[in-house]
Chains A and B, each alone.
Chain A
Amino acid sequence: MRTSVIGIGLVALVVGATAPAAAQGLIFDARRIGMGGLTLGRSASLVRYNPAYRAVPEAADRRGRPRVTIPIPLGIIQFLHDHPHLSTDPAFHPDSAGFNPILAVNTLLNLPVYLEVKKAPTPTNDVVFAIGRNELRVNLGAAAQLVPEDQFGFGGSSRLLDPGFAIKGVRVSVLGWLHYDLGIQLGDTLLRFLRDSFPASDSTGYSVLGSGIAEGGLAPTISYAGRVAGDSSTGLYLGGALHYYFGAAYVRSNVTAGFRTDSVIFGGTNPATPFDSGLTSYSKAGNSPGHGVGGDVGIAWISGPIELGVGVNDIGATLTWSDTRQDSVFYRDSSFSKPFRSHVSTKTKLPVSYVANVTYTVGKTTLGADVLNAGRGATVHVGGEQRLGLIAVRGGVARDQRKRIEFGFGGGVRFGGLGLDVGFWTHTNSLSNERGVTMATSFSIY
């Protein structure tokens, strides 16, 4: 049981702290790291979120963009050096006396792909509990700042594959899609108890509100992308896509869970009684599929050195699931669920995601900015690259989903068709209020 508690503790913290990382996705390109995560060209976010970019020519040589980027996972080497016997390493086994939850969580939060050149310091303060017959108070010290005030979690929508064919800008395809979202929010009483060191009250509930959804399926799609004005140097590009979503399966759960203190907190043998209540709705694979219609739109404008684009995905994408089962969840000595309703119709909604970008290229200088919202808050990247002969210098600033400012800088050297890039990026993904710094390295083939 203790293993479960610790395990879920790690999960809870991972869920909370990985929100920005999950939303932005792992970046394996040291060039992007060096520009604070900024996307340039046709890679990553732009083509995914702006259907107009399917028609915009690559112009790869214009910005010195590589054709292939191969990450050099120095972080893995470092990690394996530090933990050569991972499967038996006590630091990662909760049942071991040497278990180190901080190390375990931070490893998950910062997958050791990159070299961690500056680890974010973890609060090392004492945690003080005040206990009396009708008194309970916790002072987490500096660690209280790690208790999230707002809802935390991760989520977004993914497009796993999109096979199809195109004729003159019109494309017919079948899109594989996935939507997932997990959010947890501490109730007011629990938040004050943990974060503000507020004394616990008797006969009072302390709860966490949790919600989660996962759904996926296929979407036959017809889309268009093309230049509607101008030429290859100056042009206006439009794109759009119409999806008919078939949902294969989904599950959605909303649960309030916590504990209620006794009439005298430590007056009896059971100072806190757990409770939970909630509703889980699901439609298994094989049930009637979900149905819905939605669309994407995008626009891109290329004018010499300037490039602008805006794309919005999954507009109006609401799915109706006609064969949903609903179970209620409750606690009576232990947790139970029982069928509530069957064969009911429910609806789910895919999050609207968007990207807006601007790029300015003059000579060997490229500057850019983008705003990306993948369904759980916007991230902003501003950065640039200056090429000086064989050398490139890069820098950037980002605002992550936690609204913290991160900094990136780096450089690269290019020898003919081969380049070596190094990028440094600050992050606040660790169990800390201070930034760490990671270093990414990658080869580029031009």
Chain B
Amino acid sequence: MRAKWLWMTGLTALVGAAAGACGQGQAVFNVDVLSFLSDSTVPYDVPGGVGPVDSTVSKRFSLPGGFSRSTVDSVSITGAAGLHNFSGGGTVVFDVFFAKNQGSLFTGTPYLTASSGHVTGDTTLSLIPPQTVSLADTVFHTDSLWVGIRARVTTDLPPLTHMIGQVRLTELRTHIVLNDKFF
């Protein structure tokens, strides 16, 4: 059994050893998080004069095995979204969260955030939050991760005029640098 395991693990080991052969170099993971999201659109329909009201989508995705035993050096996150407001008026704040579990996903400070400012009527605009960089982020010290997108809507009066629209995520990438022990 052990001999057979040798053959089976040889392939993985070859990759690992070759990567390990990079001496003090780091393992860098560029993850296209957007591609993991089956639904990257957050619709909203909020009566006037209320808010903030949250509309969210979330998704769990897997990272390659090894993250849980690695030391995360840094994580930088880049994102972009498009807002299409169909009717009504107010503000939309677009947030992106990462968490190890779903329960804690939309708590705390978002990794990315961008505000539409005041919009009214049929309006289309881009939301491009600044890239964030965090060091030694333990959230990414795991083999699977939750990503959540939130549209936080605050509407204008009158109440009968709903603010209707959607935020569509157009880009979400993470650049994760591991220090060691990936393999």
Q: Assuming the A-B contacts A6-B183, A269-B62, are A13 and B21 also in contact, with contact meaning beta carbons closer than 8 angstroms in the complex?
A: yes
Whether A125 is near chain B, meaning CB under 8 Å from some CB there, is: yes
Q: How many residues of A contact B (CB 8 A)?
A: 62
Which of A127, A336, A337 has the most B CB atoms < 10 Å from its CB?
A: A127
Interchain CB contact (< 8 A) of A5 among B9, B32, B180: B9
CB-defined contacts of B35 to chain A, threshold 8 Å: 132-135
B28 and A126 contacting across the interface, CB-CB below 8 Å: yes
CA distance A389 to B16 in the complex (A): 54
CA distance A101 to B28 in the complex (A): 19
B183 and A8 contacting across the interface, CB-CB below 8 Å: no
B32 and A126 contacting across the interface, CB-CB below 8 Å: no
> Of A44-52, A154-162, A271-279, A312-320, which binds chain B?
A271-279
Whether B64 is near chain A, meaning CB under 8 Å from some CB there, is: yes
B183 and A208 contacting across the interface, CB-CB below 8 Å: no
Whether A128 is near chain B, meaning CB under 8 Å from some CB there, is: yes
CB-defined contacts of A259 to chain B, threshold 8 Å: 11
Interchain CB contact (< 8 A) of A9 among B20, B22, B29, B62: B20
For window 234-270 of A, CB contacts with B under 8 Å fall at 253, 255, 257-259, 266, 269
Q: Assuming the A-B contacts A126-B25, A127-B25, are A8 and B13 also in contact, with contact meaning beta carbons closer than 8 angstroms in the complex?
A: yes
A131 and B183 contacting across the interface, CB-CB below 8 Å: no
Q: Assuming the A-B contacts A124-B25, A208-B14, A335-B8, are A271 and B62 also in contact, with contact meaning beta carbons closer than 8 angstroms in the complex?
A: yes
Interchain CB contact (< 8 A) of B9 among A4, A125, A266: A4
Interchain CB contact (< 8 A) of A266 among B8, B22, B62: B62
B23 and A184 contacting across the interface, CB-CB below 8 Å: no
Interchain CB contact (< 8 A) of B183 among A9, A126, A257: A9
B14 and A186 contacting across the interface, CB-CB below 8 Å: yes
Whether A140 is near chain B, meaning CB under 8 Å from some CB there, is: yes
B10 and A257 contacting across the interface, CB-CB below 8 Å: yes
For window 210-237 of A, CB contacts with B under 8 Å fall at 210
A276 and B7 contacting across the interface, CB-CB below 8 Å: yes
**Closest CB-CB distance, B146 to chain A, in whole Å?**
15
CA distance A172 to B4 in the complex (A): 42
Whether A165 is near chain B, meaning CB under 8 Å from some CB there, is: no
CB-defined contacts of B30 to chain A, threshold 8 Å: 128-131
A194 and B18 contacting across the interface, CB-CB below 8 Å: yes
B14 and A276 contacting across the interface, CB-CB below 8 Å: no
B17 and A101 contacting across the interface, CB-CB below 8 Å: yes
Whether B69 is near chain A, meaning CB under 8 Å from some CB there, is: yes
**Closest CB-CB distance, B18 to chain A, in whole Å?**
6
CA distance A146 to B14 in the complex (A): 10
Whether A138 is near chain B, meaning CB under 8 Å from some CB there, is: yes
Whether A340 is near chain B, meaning CB under 8 Å from some CB there, is: no
CA distance A263 to B164 in the complex (A): 37
CB-defined contacts of B6 to chain A, threshold 8 Å: 8, 11
**Closest CB-CB distance, A226 to chain B, in whole Å?**
47
Whether A393 is near chain B, meaning CB under 8 Å from some CB there, is: no
Mark each residue of chain A from 68 to 103: 1 if its CB lies under 8 Å from any CB of chain B, else 0.
000000000000000000000000000001000110
Whether B160 is near chain A, meaning CB under 8 Å from some CB there, is: no
CB-defined contacts of B32 to chain A, threshold 8 Å: 130-133, 135
Whether B19 is near chain A, meaning CB under 8 Å from some CB there, is: yes
Q: Assuming the A-B contacts A143-B22, A147-B18, are A274 and B29 also in contact, with contact meaning beta carbons closer than 8 angstroms in the complex?
A: no
B17 and A13 contacting across the interface, CB-CB below 8 Å: yes
Q: Assuming the A-B contacts A126-B27, A129-B29, are A4 and B69 also in contact, with contact meaning beta carbons closer than 8 angstroms in the complex?
A: no
CA distance A412 to B18 in the complex (A): 40
Whether A428 is near chain B, meaning CB under 8 Å from some CB there, is: no
Residue contacts A-B, CB under 8 angstroms, 20 given: A7-B13, A9-B12, A11-B10, A12-B13, A13-B14, A102-B21, A123-B25, A127-B28, A128-B28, A132-B35, A135-B35, A140-B18, A142-B22, A143-B22, A190-B11, A253-B3, A257-B7, A331-B8, A337-B4, A431-B21
If A6-B20, A123-B25, A128-B29 are given as contacts, then 9 extra A-B residue pairs at C-beta distance below 8 Å, sorted by A number, are A12-B10, A13-B21, A102-B23, A131-B31, A140-B19, A143-B25, A257-B11, A329-B7, A335-B4
Q: Which 5 A-B pairs have the closest CB atoms?
A: A9-B13, A9-B17, A335-B4, A132-B32, A133-B35
